[in-house]
Structure formats: structure tokens, C-alpha cells
């Protein structure tokens, strides 16, 4: 009988696309998904029910109740069941494992045929989840993803004032909270940002190099797999002059999806955006650039690849790092 979240992920037949794809010996701790429906179910809907369980504290919800969240899970399966567990030959199942005897996924699960099994594992996944004391329960319930409230008692270094994003609370870049925050424009050359005139900046010199070390709050703590990455947005002229136009910045965290990132960028630059190119520093990736096309079949997988690179990038004393991102729009 599966006992942990990862075990229930396997029992549901969900494939993960982290480093374990290349090295099966790696133990999965934070599953990486590429299917949009799976991402929404795992990162938004399930945490929302888990948040309700945390908020209730046993007042009206009984963890031992075998019918806990019955109606809510039925509704989720009506929406996501046909997308995630379609009948073979009637839908995409590339995001599902191949069944194998002796494993937690011995046979194909199909909705609605296996609704009872799917609901059981989803319910047990909720019950298996654990929360840190500083988890933002309201954020979970309101489907904003897993966020944590900063416990730092010391003030962070002075930085430009940020404005709140459309989805999260306002905050300042040095604080390693999981609230999504967006910058007000061009970064300054203070503790937290590299000047656009720096030789390591694409915006300043169109060259690629390692970023300089920056100061960070003494009490910053980094959750496993959690990161904050300042995306410094710009547009490049298609003319021979190669003119670079800075378009502000936003703070990316590990709970974004590809669509959410594109929406946040469009809000920041106040323009449509159909593709982005991440200019990756040398100490992050051997690939100098990664391009993500909005709305294409492989966009979420490519975006999750970028998030994995950010998760594994060297951290400078706990401070958010920066990555320059070219934004573009292809007119059909």
C-alpha cells in the first residue's frame, strides 16, 4: 500500500520527467510533470484540498473518514479524468507510465472505469502531504500554489521598491518568500541586481558570462527545489543595429507554469509575447540559450527544463539570481 506522496504519484501511473529519466537510480523527491492537466491537478487542485484540511484542524474534517472530500474529488475527476487517464487509443497517454507487475502501477488506469481507485489514491495523496509551519494556508486554499511566509527577523538589504503582481502579494526581491513579485523596471546596480551596463549583461553588451556575487540576507533559507530567479526582460530590434530595449523585470518562482510565465511577462512588458529566449549564465547550463514557444505542444516541457536548471543553479549566499530573457512576438 503506497504511503507517501511520491508513491501515490506512481500508483496513479503519472510519469515524472526529472533527472530520474536519465538515471533511474535517482530517488524522486519533487516530481516534475510536463502535462498541463497533471500540473494543474498536482500543483493547484490537490494543494487546495490539503489547505482546507490544514485550516480545519479536525473541527469538521476527519482524516480517518473514508469518504473525505468525496464530492470534491468526483468533480476533479470529471474535469481531469478524461484528460489524464483516457481510454487507450482515445487520448494522449504519453504522460502515464507503462504498467508492470510487481510495481505500484500493475495495470493501466482508465477513467471512468477506475474512478474508485483514482479517487482513493488522490485522497491518500492529500493525507500523505506534509506542511512546514510557515506554509501559506490561504495561498493553498485559493489555488495560488505552495508558498511560504518569510520568517526572517532581520531587514533585507535596500532594493528598489517592487509592485505587486496580479497573482501574489507585494514584496521585496531579497526576501526568499514564495510570493510572486514583479519589479518596477530596470534593475539598479545595488546589492541585488547587476547593472545593465555590466559586461556580463546581454542588455548592456550582448555577451554571456558568469554573474557576479551579490549580498544576501543573513537569515535567508532555501527549501529543497525552491528558487527565486529575477527575469530581466528585453526586446531586441530585428534591424542590423541590434538595438536592445529593456522592458522591466519580474521574479520567477518554482510554482510557475509556462502559461503563467508568459502571462506575467505580457503584463510586465504591456504587450503580447509569443516566445521567450532565456540567456543562461555559464555556471547554470552548457546551453547558452533556451527558447520557449507559447502554446506549442512542447512548451511546458521546455519551460520545466528551464525551471530544473534554475533549481540546480549555484546560489549566491541565498540571494535571488538573475537571468536575462528576450521577449518576442511572431505575427501570423
Please check whether residues 221 and 133 belong to one and the same domain.
no
Burial of residue 293, with CB atoms counted within 10 A of its CB: 0-12 exposed, 13-18 middle, 19 or more buried: middle
Please check whether residues 169 and 90 belong to one and the same domain.
no
Residue 260 belongs to some domain of the structure? yes
Using only C-alpha atoms, the chain has a radius of gyration, in whole angstroms, of 21
pLDDT tens, residue by residue, 186-206: 333 333 333 333 444 555 544
Q: Which residue pairs from 55-62 have beta carbons closer than 8 angstroms and sit at least 24 positions apart in sequence?
A: 55/137, 55/141
Residue range 2-23: mean pLDDT, rounded: 88
Among 209-213, 269-273, 308-312, where is mean pLDDT lowest?
Answer: 209-213
Residue 156 belongs to some domain of the structure? no
Residue 154 belongs to some domain of the structure? no
The values of phi and psi at residue 262, to 5°, are: -60, -40
**Tally of domains in the chain:** 2
Q: Are 244 and 232 in contact (CB under 8 A)?
A: no
Residue 59 belongs to some domain of the structure? yes
Please check whether residues 81 and 219 belong to one and the same domain.
no
Please check whether residues 127 and 167 belong to one and the same domain.
no
pLDDT tens, residue by residue, 134-182: 788 888 999 887 776 654 433 433 333 443 444 333 333 333 233 333 3
Please check whether residues 82 and 194 belong to one and the same domain.
no
The range of the structural domain enclosing residue 118 comes to 5-141
Please check whether residues 62 and 174 belong to one and the same domain.
no
pLDDT tens, residue by residue, 84-96: 999 999 999 999 9
Band (225; pLDDT cuts 50, 70, 90): low
Residue range 44-61: mean pLDDT, rounded: 92
Please check whether residues 60 and 203 belong to one and the same domain.
no
For residue 232, give the C-alpha cell. Answer: 530581466
Evaluate if residue 51 carries a pLDDT over 90: yes
Strand order in the sheet with 244-253: 163-164, 181-182, 244-253, 228-236, 321-328, 275-279, 289-293
Please check whether residues 193 and 127 belong to one and the same domain.
no
Please check whether residues 273 and 313 belong to one and the same domain.
yes
Please check whether residues 323 and 290 belong to one and the same domain.
yes
How many whole angstroms separate alpha carbon 313 and alpha carbon 277? 18
- Output the furthest CA–CA distance in the chain (Å, rounded): 67
Please check whether residues 80 and 216 belong to one and the same domain.
no
How many whole angstroms separate alpha carbon 264 and alpha carbon 258? 10
Please check whether residues 9 and 118 belong to one and the same domain.
yes
Q: What is the pLDDT of residue 202?
A: 53
Amino acid at each position: 500500500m503506497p504511503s507517501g506522496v511520491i508513491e501515490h504519484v506512481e500508483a496513479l501511473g503519472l510519469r515524472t520527467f526529472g533527472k530520474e529519466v536519465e538515471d533511474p537510480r535517482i530517488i524522486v523527491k519533487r516530481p516534475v510533470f510536463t502535462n498541463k492537466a497533471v500540473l494543474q491537478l498536482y500543483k493547484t487542485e490537490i494543494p487546495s484540498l490539503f489547505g482546507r484540511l490544514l485550516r480545519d484542524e479536525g473541527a469538521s474534517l476527519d482524516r480517518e473518514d473514508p469518504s473525505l472530500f468525496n464530492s470534491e474529488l468526483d468533480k476533479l475527476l470529471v474535469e481531469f479524468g478524461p484528460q489524464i487517464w483516457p481510454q487507450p487509443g482515445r487520448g494522449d497517454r504519453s504522460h502515464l507510465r507503462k504498467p508492470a507487475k510487481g510495481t505500484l502501477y500493475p495495470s493501466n488506469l482508465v477513467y471512468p472505469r477506475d474512478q474508485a481507485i483514482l479517487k482513493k489514491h488522490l485522497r491518500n495523496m492529500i493525507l500523505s502531504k506534509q506542511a512546514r509551519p510557515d506554509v501559506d494556508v490561504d495561498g493553498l486554499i485559493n489555488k495560488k500554489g505552495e508558498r511560504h511566509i518569510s520568517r526572517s527577523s532581520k531587514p533585507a538589504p535596500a532594493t528598489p521598491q517592487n509592485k505587486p503582481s496580479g497573482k501574489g502579494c507585494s514584496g521585496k526581491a531579497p526576501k526568499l518568500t514564495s510570493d510572486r513579485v514583479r519589479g518596477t523596471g530596470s534593475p539598479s546596480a545595488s546589492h541585488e541586481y547587476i547593472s545593465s551596463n555590466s559586461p556580463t549583461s546581454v542588455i548592456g553588451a550582448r555577451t554571456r558570462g558568469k554573474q557576479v556575487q551579490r549580498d544576501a540576507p543573513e537569515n535567508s533559507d532555501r527549501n529543497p527545489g525552491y528558487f527565486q530567479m529575477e527575469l530581466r526582460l528585453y526586446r531586441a530590434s530585428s534591424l542590423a543595429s541590434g538595438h536592445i530595449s529593456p522592458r522591466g523585470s519580474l521574479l520567477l518562482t518554482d510554482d510557475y507554469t509556462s502559461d503563467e510565465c508568459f502571462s506575467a511577462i505580457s503584463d510586465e512588458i504591456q504587450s503580447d509575447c509569443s516566445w521567450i529566449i532565456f540567456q543562461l549564465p555559464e555556471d547554470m547550463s552548457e546551453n547558452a540559450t533556451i527558447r520557449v514557444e507559447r502554446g506549442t505542444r512542447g512548451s511546458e516541457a521546455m519551460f520545466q527544463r528551464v525551471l530544473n536548471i534554475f533549481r540546480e543553479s549555484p546560489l549566491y549566499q541565498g540571494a535571488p539570481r538573475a537571468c536575462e530573457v528576450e521577449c518576442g512576438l511572431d505575427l501570423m
